């Protein structure tokens, strides 16, 4: 995929590409979500979790995605900071609220699952806490961006914060793990293969793809909006000068 | 080297002398510590259980307070431009600024930390460790906090923004220091948390100045 940044770095080409890629991804996301959800509603009850196992299909992909979006945010920030790439900055700016939204979704669905399973909406367990810290980091990124008036400065400051956060997040993750763990261990991404039963694994993976496509579609739409906004501002500036 | 020492003297003097210096941070620390029993209840058993952790959290918050002026003071009066133009690399300047901040605010807070912990009901034996943790943690707070202070240069409500940026980054040192103190209070091995706190502080000293300098260059551009 090394051609992708080079190909998409031209705003014109990006706009032409995303014009059809965004709706296409959206349609794919819708199809996958319908498929995955219908499978998810028809799985047998889990012998331990009963009905609540179905929350997993909307919770776990959100939790995966909120990490993945941060990686996207950090990568885009890196490109914009080092190569001063305008489109990369628009991508970082567009990714942050999406990341915050998916993190919020992961927290809310997790807490709804935790109530019947653990008997509490919230427990101060390691994974919950590190996802909460990730959420705070997204908020900090957006707050920093919003409170600097000069857009170019805000972009670079936010990019520095995103990279500092990227260094810190693994440490946060480790420190929170060290602190306490009550959450069950990983059951899909393991060296010896997933321990999750295939009936549950299939809808889960389909939903993960659906989430991924949703994020891709929304991200492209938001980057497009950002490009349009900047064009409109530049045009307004030109009109004011003339 | 003499330039750096002069800079360190200047930074420490400014952090110490202007706007109340360490008194503000220590006063805030004392205030938060006083609030805890008022809100939680004064039963010694209940207080003693949370004393080490509560004193540690109050310390992290108190370290936040004085960060706002760390770069803003020099940014407003143009001294930051001068430092930028000086032959000393901006990274080293930022490192020295944070060291000055630590000497003028972190060290007095570290002296107050055992007092706060013991007044909340921690065992007196905890005192030395509370001091050492506060000293080491103060280093981490100063260098991580400096990143937040440098990033929010030129922002409206910079102090509040610094807090929002920095608090998620304070999670590891708060966990490690609180873990060491809690383990010591419970009679468990505490050196692990203390060593990790030291490692985090060293990491912050290594990475922090690079990010701070980048943020300052951005603000000055």
User: Per-domain residue ranges for chain B?
Assistant: 2-220
Residue A2's pLDDT band, with cuts at 50, 70 and 90, is: very low
Q: Given a cut of 90, is residue A3 above it in pLDDT?
A: no
The radius of gyration of chain B's CA atoms, rounded to the nearest angstrom, is 18
Q: Output the pLDDT for position A183.
A: 42
| Structural contact between residues A128 and A63, judged by C-beta atoms closer than 8 angstroms | no
Nearest to B165 among A150, A161, A174 (CB): A161
Q: Output the pLDDT for position B205.
A: 93
CB spacing of B172 vs A160 below 8 angstroms? no
A185-224 pLDDT tens trace: 555 555 555 567 777 788 888 889 999 999 999 999 999 9
pTM, whole model, 2 decimals? 0.86
First to last CA, chain A: 43
Q: Determine the average pLDDT of the residues in A64-82.
A: 91
Helix (H) or strand (E) holding B220: helix B191-220
Q: Output the pLDDT for position B25.
A: 85
Distance CA B202, CA B197 (A): 9
| Structural contact between residues B71 and B97, judged by C-beta atoms closer than 8 angstroms | yes
Mutation for testing the A interface, residue in B144, B155, B190, B207 having most A CBs under 10 Å: B155
CB pairs < 8 Å spanning A and B: 81
Percent of chain B with pLDDT over 70: 99
Residue A48's pLDDT band, with cuts at 50, 70 and 90, is: low
| Structural contact between residues B141 and B170, judged by C-beta atoms closer than 8 angstroms | yes
B169 Cβ under 8 Å from any chain A Cβ: yes
Distance CA A74, CA A89 (A): 10
Minimum CA–CA partner of A170 in chain B = B172
User: Mean pLDDT across chain B, nearest whole number?
Assistant: 86
Minimum CA–CA partner of B218 in chain A = A153
Which residues in A have their CB inside 8 Å of a CB on B? 81, 133, 136-137, 139-140, 143-144, 147-150, 153, 156-157, 160-161, 163-165, 167-168, 171-172, 174-176, 178-179
Of the given ranges (A97-101, A160-164, B21-25), which has the lowest mean pLDDT? B21-25
In DSSP terms, A50 is beta-bridged to A46
A215 Cβ contact partners less than 8 Å away, ≥ 6 residues apart: A65, A68, A69, A98, A102
Q: Determine the average pLDDT of the residues in A226-234.
A: 89
Distance from CA of A160 to the nearest CA of B (A): 7
Distance CA A109, CA A96 (A): 20
Q: Determine the average pLDDT of the residues in A125-131.
A: 79
Distance CA A219, CA A225 (A): 10
Q: Output the pLDDT for position A192.
A: 55
Q: Determine the average pLDDT of the residues in B170-174.
A: 89
| Chain centre to alpha carbon of residue A91 | 12
Mutation for testing the B interface, residue in A124, A141, A144, A163 having most B CBs under 10 Å: A144
B108-136 pLDDT tens trace: 888 888 888 888 888 888 888 889 999 99
Angle between helices A126-147 and A86-118 (to 10 degrees): 150
Distance CA B34, CA B55 (A): 10
| Structural contact between residues B154 and A148, judged by C-beta atoms closer than 8 angstroms | yes
Helix (H) or strand (E) holding A89: helix A86-118
B87 Cβ contact partners less than 8 Å away, ≥ 6 residues apart: B3
Place of tokens 């000069």: A150
Which residues in chain B belong to E strands, given as ranges?
none
- Residues in chain B closer than 8 A to A167 (CB atoms): 207
A34-44 pLDDT tens trace: 888 888 787 77
| Structural contact between residues A35 and A103, judged by C-beta atoms closer than 8 angstroms | no
Distance from CA of A16 to the nearest CA of B (A): 33
* Stated length of chain B: 221
Q: Given a cut of 80, is residue A29 above it in pLDDT?
A: yes
CB spacing of B171 vs A176 below 8 angstroms? yes
């Amino acid at each position: 995929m090394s051609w992708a940044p080079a190909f998409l770095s031209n705003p014109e080409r990006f706009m032409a590409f995303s014009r059809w890629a965004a709706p296409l991804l959206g349609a794919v996301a819708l199809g996958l979500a319908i498929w995955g959800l219908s499978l998810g509603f028809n799985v047998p009850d889990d012998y331990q979790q009963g009905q609540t196992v179905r929350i997993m299909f909307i919770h776990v992909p959100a939790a995966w995605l909120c990490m993945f979006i941060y990686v996207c945010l950090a990568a885009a920030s890196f490109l914009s900071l080092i190569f001063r790439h305008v489109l990369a900055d628009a991508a970082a700016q567009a990714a942050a609220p999406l990341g915050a939204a998916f993190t919020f979704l992961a927290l809310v669905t997790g807490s709804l699952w935790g109530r019947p399973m653990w008997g509490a909406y919230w427990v101060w367990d390691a994974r919950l806490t590190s996802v909460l810290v990730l959420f705070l980091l997204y908020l900090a990124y957006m707050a920093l961006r919003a409170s600097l008036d000069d857009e170019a400065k805000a972009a670079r400051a936010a990019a520095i914060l995103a990279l500092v956060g990227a260094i810190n997040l693994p440490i946060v993750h480790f420190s929170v793990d060290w602190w306490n763990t009550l959450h069950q261990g990983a059951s899909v991404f393991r060296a010896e293969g997933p321990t999750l039963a295939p009936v549950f694994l299939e809808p889960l993976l389909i939903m993960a793809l659906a989430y991924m496509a949703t994020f891709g579609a929304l991200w492209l739409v938001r980057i497009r909006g950002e490009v349009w906004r900047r064009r409109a501002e530049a045009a307004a500036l030109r009109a004011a000068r003339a | 080297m003499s330039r750096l020492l002069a800079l360190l003297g200047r930074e420490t003097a400014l952090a110490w002398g202007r706007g109340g210096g360490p008194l503000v941070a220590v006063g805030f620390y004392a205030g938060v510590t006083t609030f805890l029993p008022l809100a939680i209840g004064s039963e010694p058993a209940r207080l003693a259980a949370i004393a080490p952790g509560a004193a540690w959290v109050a310390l992290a918050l108190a370290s936040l307070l004085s960060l706002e002026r760390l770069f803003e003071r020099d940014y407003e009066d143009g001294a930051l431009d001068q430092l930028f133009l000086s032959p000393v690399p901006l990274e080293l300047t930022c490192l020295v600024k944070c060291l000055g901040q630590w000497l003028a605010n972190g060290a007095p807070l570290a002296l107050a930390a055992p007092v706060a912990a013991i007044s909340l009901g921690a065992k007196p034996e905890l005192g030395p460790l509370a001091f050492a943790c506060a000293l080491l943690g103060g280093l981490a707070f100063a260098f991580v906090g400096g990143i937040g202070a440098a990033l929010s240069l030129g922002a409206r409500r910079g102090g509040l923004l610094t807090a929002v940026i920095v608090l998620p980054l304070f999670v590891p040192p708060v966990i490690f220091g609180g873990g060491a103190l809690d383990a010591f209070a419970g009679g468990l091995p505490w050196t692990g948390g203390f060593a990790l706190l030291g490692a985090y502080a060293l990491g912050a000293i290594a990475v922090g100045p690079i990010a701070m300098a980048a943020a300052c260059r951005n603000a000055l551009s």
